[in-house]
């Protein structure tokens, strides 16, 4: 990285990396009187009467102070409080980016630990927690210990505990990979500063025996009786050993933990370690031994560093944002050892889960799988927020330091909402699906993404997946990807007992459409047609395909075999677009190139039905380049006629048009300029006049506008068939499967309701016939 790039990043477009953004409007005189005097006096008095109301009426519950005196900044040393400010601002960026926590950075111009303590204590009314940063040892120990005793908000020195918590997770998993017992391993820690001492204590809490730990510093081994460079914190770990140098200490050792300086670990030292050595070379920016040199020296090594360009990065951003998130959300009075251990165990467990495609893409498409080169989650894995924060919150509640008790299941859902509205919406759909899972057939069963999605569907109890393809190949792929085959049905179309039955049925359906018996046999042997026949005959409840196929390849068999739903003339496609604040349904974005007025009306009614499945009451805008007759043209007339058709067929639906897109989504425009309109509150369903406009709009909104696109959702089929996006991610597949399950559930409900109505009508007819007969 060039020096100029770093300076430019920090200077432009405005100096620094953080700013204060208001969470309340301040546009009118009323807003001003509420934000400040006289309205602000009301919450002030409420807090005076009940101090706990400070969490109700202010941002304290989501506000952390990052406090430093600049005495140990990164690897730069004592550069002073002001010079350390870019680091503290950067810490604030990470808090916000990864856990949605607000931060003020406070740089204290004092090296007197008592003055640092006093400043923190005086700031307790302002902040929900304090993150101590870049304060040199041993003063940092004294500062944190004193603050924890005297303050009733969480205080956390990240340089100590962050490294300990994250490397602890890496240690647990590395030991599992090499099949070593934590109680038996011998360990050398090089570097007896804040992080080194905290790591040793945390490892002991995980199970490492104190007598199996040897510490080294710049003077050499920390042994009993040593006088030079000692303090009470080092004295606690003075070992009864004859070893005097790092080289001596490392002979036969299982684990090396480096928190010191670059290139201090030589190949000769590495060769002297035990079989399957575990090396955490965490000096920054350059590790204690170069990664390439280490793996060239020992083929059986597991190595972790602090760098992102090598496997197994021990990065503190995996800890502090999520630990504070969990602590703040339950009003924890402190961050105790149990909460730190909970964070470690959560990270260790998460590393064994399947890694989302979004994470793989963030790291250049790297194949991430639990093992020697993946013993700890990646920093950009969004699941860390859910796993770690909930574990920390649960530990706080269990140990009695939480002031608020929360249901952990519900809390995990709340955390998921912080990842974005798309996650929140899909969680609702997934919960619906889990109430009554259905059988989903995947014709592209030989694709690893499909198999990984199938595993998640089974684990989450969303659906019962059926994957099609060569059984031997699928089983091999499952083994390679560590996918548990239980719960996943694997079917080879050509070898299935159902093949003759499906072939005969397909021939009956298509025999007058130019299909011979031979051709029927050939077509049914293909997974897409075979899967569609499974759906047709009731051996599956829904079909998902398209990951490696073009749209028509999936649609053609479906339309030929499954047909459209009763009363529907044409199938259409819908996308859900999720912005930070709103949810929109857009149609048709995938199927009908130039729909007629009648087609547009049908698309609108199907979209309304789909929206209701997501518990959204439809407000439909029929889009055009014209606002309510402002431009007379056959194209705008077509949209106007479509509105009239919907209003006559389904008067209960809120719909209006023709209108322009900005009119549709801006309530102020439509209500002030067009008060006669029946559309109130802004549209949440946008019906485009043709495929060209719909497809372009949804792609621009998702790519440039930052909206999350969920779909395509196929509307109008008699049974659920959904087309996956080519090269879609595993999460996309799981989401579409959940949507398909909910589709099946709704179709079954409708069928029951129709059957009930028919039964009632039949009963009424019978009564009427009997009355006539008696008369």
Candidates 9, 14, 27, 36; catalytic one: 36
Candidates 60, 85, 91, 201; catalytic one: 91
Is the pLDDT reported for residue 675 higher than 80?
A: yes
pLDDT, position 764: 63
pLDDT, position 8: 83
Is residue 441 within 8 Å of residue 464, measured between CB atoms? no
What average pLDDT score do residues 364-387 get? 88
3-state SS assignment for residue 668:
helix
Which position has the token pair 């749209």? Answer: 551
Distances (CA, A) of 334 to 149, 402, 636: 9, 8, 64
Any alpha helices (H) in 460-615, and if so which ranges?
A: 471-480, 499-510, 517-524, 527-537, 551-561, 597-613
Residue 322 DSSP code: H
Is residue 176 within 8 Å of residue 150, measured between CB atoms? no
Confidence of residue 725 (pLDDT cuts 50, 70, 90): confident
**Residue 117: how many CA atoms within 13 Å on its side-chain side?**
16
Per-residue pLDDT reduced to its tens digit, 225-261: 999 999 989 999 999 999 999 999 999 999 999 999 8
Greater confidence (657 vs 202) lies with 202
Distances (CA, A) of 579 to 359, 483, 539, 583, 708: 21, 34, 38, 6, 7
What average pLDDT score do residues 53-60 get? 95
Residue 725 DSSP code: P
pLDDT, position 774: 66
pLDDT, position 752: 82
Q: Is 751 a catalytic residue?
A: no
Per-residue pLDDT reduced to its tens digit, 577-604: 988 778 899 999 888 899 999 999 999 9
Report the helix count and the strand count for the chain, using DSSP H and E.
31, 21
Which residues make Cβ contacts (< 8 Å) with residue 147, sequence separation at least 6? Answer: 117, 120, 121, 130, 132, 155
CA–centroid distance for 698 within its chain: 22
- 4, two tokens: 């100029």
Which position has the token pair 């039955």? Answer: 501
Distances (CA, A) of 35 to 32, 47, 61, 101, 383: 5, 16, 19, 22, 36
pLDDT, position 423: 66
pLDDT, position 757: 66
For the chain, the average pLDDT equals 91
pTM for the whole structure: 0.70
Is the pLDDT reported for residue 1 higher than 60?
A: no
3-state SS assignment for residue 465:
strand
Sign of CA dihedral 18, 22, 27, 32: negative
477 bridge partner residues: none
**Residue 702: how many CA atoms within 13 Å on its side-chain side?**
18
What average pLDDT score do residues 376-382 get? 88
d(CA 316, CA 314): 7
Is the pLDDT reported for residue 686 higher than 90?
A: yes
Is residue 24 within 8 Å of residue 35, measured between CB atoms? yes
d(CA 495, CA 472): 12
Q: Select from 443, 450, 322, 445 the least CA-distant residue to 390.
A: 322
Which residues make Cβ contacts (< 8 Å) with residue 23, sequence separation at least 6? Answer: 59
pLDDT, position 582: 81
pLDDT, position 83: 95
The secondary structure of 141-185 as a DSSP string is HHHHHHHHHH-SS-EEEHHHHHHHHHHHHHHHHHHHHTT--TTT-
Task: Classify residue 261 as exposed, middle or buried by CB count within 10 Å of its CB (0-12, 13-18, 19+).
Answer: middle
Sign of CA dihedral 272, 278, 284, 285: positive
Describe the crossing of helices 158-177 and 194-206 by its angle, rounded to 10 degrees.
40
Residue 222 DSSP code: -
Which position has the token pair 């019906």? Answer: 687
Per-residue pLDDT reduced to its tens digit, 322-343: 999 999 999 999 999 999 999 9
Confidence of residue 363 (pLDDT cuts 50, 70, 90): confident
Sign of CA dihedral 675, 679, 685, 688: negative
Task: Classify residue 525 as exposed, middle or buried by CB count within 10 Å of its CB (0-12, 13-18, 19+).
Answer: middle
Distances (CA, A) of 82 to 68, 105, 107, 157, 771: 10, 11, 7, 19, 96
- 607, two tokens: 């979209």
pLDDT, position 31: 87
Per-residue pLDDT reduced to its tens digit, 86-99: 999 999 999 998 89
pLDDT, position 552: 83
d(CA 551, CA 695): 14
pLDDT, position 42: 95
187 bridge partner residues: 213, 255
Per-residue pLDDT reduced to its tens digit, 404-437: 999 999 898 888 877 766 666 777 788 888 889 9
d(CA 189, CA 282): 11
- 252, two tokens: 């036969």
pLDDT, position 681: 86
Per-residue pLDDT reduced to its tens digit, 15-34: 999 888 888 888 888 889 99
What average pLDDT score do residues 127-149 get? 94
Q: Quote the radius of gyration of the chain (alpha carbons, Å).
A: 32
CA–centroid distance for 28 within its chain: 38
Q: Is 17 a catalytic residue?
A: no
Q: Select from 614, 631, 530 the least CA-distant residue to 576.
A: 614
The span from the first CA to the last CA of the chain, in angstroms, equals: 98
The secondary structure of 331-381 as a DSSP string is TBS---HHHHHHHHHHHHHHTTSPPPHHHHHHTTT----SBTTBSS--TT-
Q: Select from 606, 410, 450 the least CA-distant residue to 543.
A: 450
d(CA 265, CA 258): 9
Is residue 215 within 8 Å of residue 234, measured between CB atoms? yes
d(CA 54, CA 52): 5
pLDDT, position 661: 92
């Amino acid at each position: 990285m060039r020096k100029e790039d770093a300076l430019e990043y920090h200077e432009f477009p405005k100096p620094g990396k953080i700013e204060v953004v208001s969470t309340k409007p301040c546009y009118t005189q009323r807003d001003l009187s509420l934000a400040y005097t006289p309205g602000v006096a009301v919450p002030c008095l409420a807090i005076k009467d009940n101090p706990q109301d400070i969490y109700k009426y202010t941002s304290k519950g989501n506000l952390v102070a990052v406090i430093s005196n600049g005495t140990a900044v990164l690897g730069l040393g004592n550069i002073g409080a002001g010079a350390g400010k870019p680091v503290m601002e950067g810490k604030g960026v990470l808090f916000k980016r990864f856990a949605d926590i607000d931060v003020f950075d406070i740089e204290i111009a004092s090296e007197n630990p008592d003055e640092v303590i006093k400043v923190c204590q005086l700031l307790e009314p302002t902040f929900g927690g304090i993150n101590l940063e870049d304060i040199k040892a041993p003063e940092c120990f004294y500062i944190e210990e004193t603050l924890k005793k005297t303050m009733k908000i969480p205080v956390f020195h990240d340089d100590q505990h962050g490294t300990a918590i994250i490397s602890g997770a890496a240690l647990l998993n590395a030991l599992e990979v090499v099949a070593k017992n934590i109680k038996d391993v011998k360990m050398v820690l090089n570097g007896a500063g804040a992080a080194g001492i905290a790591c040793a204590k945390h490892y002991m809490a995980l199970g490492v025996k104190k007598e199996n730990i040897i510490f080294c510093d710049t003077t050499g081994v920390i042994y009993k009786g040593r006088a030079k460079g000692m303090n009470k914190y080092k004295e606690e770990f003075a070992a009864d050993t004859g070893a005097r140098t790092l080289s001596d200490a490392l002979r036969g050792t299982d684990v090396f933990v480096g928190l010191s300086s670059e290139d201090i670990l030589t190949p000769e030292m590495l060769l002297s370690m035990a079989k399957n050595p575990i090396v955490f070379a965490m000096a920054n920016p350059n590790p204690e031994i170069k990664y390439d040199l280490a793996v060239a020296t020992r083929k059986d090594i597991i190595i972790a560093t602090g760098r992102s360009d090598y496997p197994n990065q021990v990065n503190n951003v995996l800890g502090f944002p999520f630990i504070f998130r969990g602590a703040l959300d339950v009003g924890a009075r402190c961050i105790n050892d149990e909460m730190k251990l909970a964070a470690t165990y959560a990270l260790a467990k998460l590393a064994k889960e399947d890694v989302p495609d979004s994470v793989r893409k963030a790291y250049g498409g790297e194949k991430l799988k639990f093992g020697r080169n993946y013993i700890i989650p990646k920093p950009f894995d969004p699941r860390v927020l859910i796993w770690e924060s909930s574990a920390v919150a649960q530990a706080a509640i269990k140990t009695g330091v939480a002031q608020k008790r929360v249901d952990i299941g519900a809390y995990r859902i709340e955390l998921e909402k912080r990842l974005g509205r798309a996650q929140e919406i899909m969680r609702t759909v997934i919960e619906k699906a889990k109430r009554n899972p259905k059988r989903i057939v995947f014709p592209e069963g030989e694709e690893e993404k499909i198999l990984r999605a199938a595993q998640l569907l089974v684990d989450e109890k969303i659906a019962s997946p059926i994957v099609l393809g060569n059984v031997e190949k699928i089983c091999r792929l499952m083994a390679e990807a560590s996918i548990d085959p239980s719960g996943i049905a694997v079917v080879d179309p050509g070898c299935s007992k159902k093949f003759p039955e499906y072939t005969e049925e397909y021939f009956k359906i298509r025999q007058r459409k130019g299909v011979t018996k031979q051709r029927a046999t050939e077509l049914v042997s293909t997974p897409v047609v075979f899967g569609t026949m499974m759906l047709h005959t009731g051996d599956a409840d829904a079909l998902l395909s398209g990951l490696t196929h073009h749209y028509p390849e999936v649609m053609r068999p479906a339309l030929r075999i499954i047909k459209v739903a009763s009363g529907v003339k044409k199938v259409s496609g819908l996308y859900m677009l999720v912005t930070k604040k709103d949810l929109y349904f857009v149609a048709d974005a995938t199927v009908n190139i130039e729909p007629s007025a009648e087609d547009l009306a049908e698309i609108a009614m199907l979209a309304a039905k789909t929206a209701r499945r997501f518990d959204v009451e439809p407000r439909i805008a029929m889009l055009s380049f014209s606002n309510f007759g402002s431009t007379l043209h056959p194209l705008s007339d077509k949209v106007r006629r479509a509105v009239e058709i919907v209003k006559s067929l389904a008067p209960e639906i809120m719909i209006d048009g023709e209108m322009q897109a900005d009119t549709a989504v801006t309530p102020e425009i439509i209500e002030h300029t067009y008060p006669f309109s029946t559309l109130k509150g802004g549209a949440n369903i946008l019906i485009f006049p043709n495929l060209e406009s719909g497809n372009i709009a949804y792609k621009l909104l998702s790519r440039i506008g930052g909206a999350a696109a969920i779909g395509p959702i196929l509307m109008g089929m008699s049974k659920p068939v959904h087309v996956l996006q080519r090269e879609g991610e595993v999460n996309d597949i799981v989401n579409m499967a959940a949507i398909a399950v909910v589709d099946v559930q709704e179709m079954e409900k409708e069928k029951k309701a129709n059957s009930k109505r028919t039964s009632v009508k039949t009963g009424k007819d019978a009564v009427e016939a009997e009355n006539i007969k008696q008369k």
